[in-house]
């Protein structure tokens, strides 16, 4: 079973949690709670992986890390 990394943000306008998995087209979702978001994201990733051919699955980027920056402006 592959480990997939989702990026999560909170939308300031709606207050919803939003998740996206880079490298998997269509793998994004939103929810009111983090628990609901995790369930939604797992479901959408499983559906997306089912639709991908084996070669495309090998091309999913490997998660390395996240870096936060402070910028002027």
The three-state DSSP-derived secondary structure of the chain is CCCCCCEEEECCCCCCEEEECCCCCCCEEEECCHHHHHHHHHHHHHHHHHHCCHHHHHCCCCCCCCCCCCCCC
Residue 42 counted as domain residue: yes
Domain with 48 in it: what CATH number? 3.30.160.250
Task: Indicate the pTM of the whole model.
Answer: 0.82
Query: pLDDT-derived band of residue 1, with 50, 70 and 90 as boundaries?
Result: low
Tens digits of residue pLDDT in 17-64: 999 999 899 999 999 999 999 999 999 999 999 999 999 999 998 889
Q: Residue 14 domain-assigned? A: yes
pLDDT at position 6, please? 94
Total domain count, the chain: 1
Q: Give yes or no for residue 14 having a pLDDT over 70.
A: yes
Q: State residue 23's pLDDT score.
A: 87
């Amino acid at each position: 079973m592959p480990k997939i990394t989702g990026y999560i943000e909170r939308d300031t306008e709606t207050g919803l949690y939003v998740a996206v998995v880079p490298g998997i087209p269509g793998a994004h979702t939103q929810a009111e709670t983090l628990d609901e978001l995790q369930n939604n994201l797992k479901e959408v990733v499983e559906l997306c992986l089912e639709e991908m051919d084996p070669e495309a699955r090998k091309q999913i980027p490997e998660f390395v890390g996240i870096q936060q920056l402070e910028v002027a402006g």
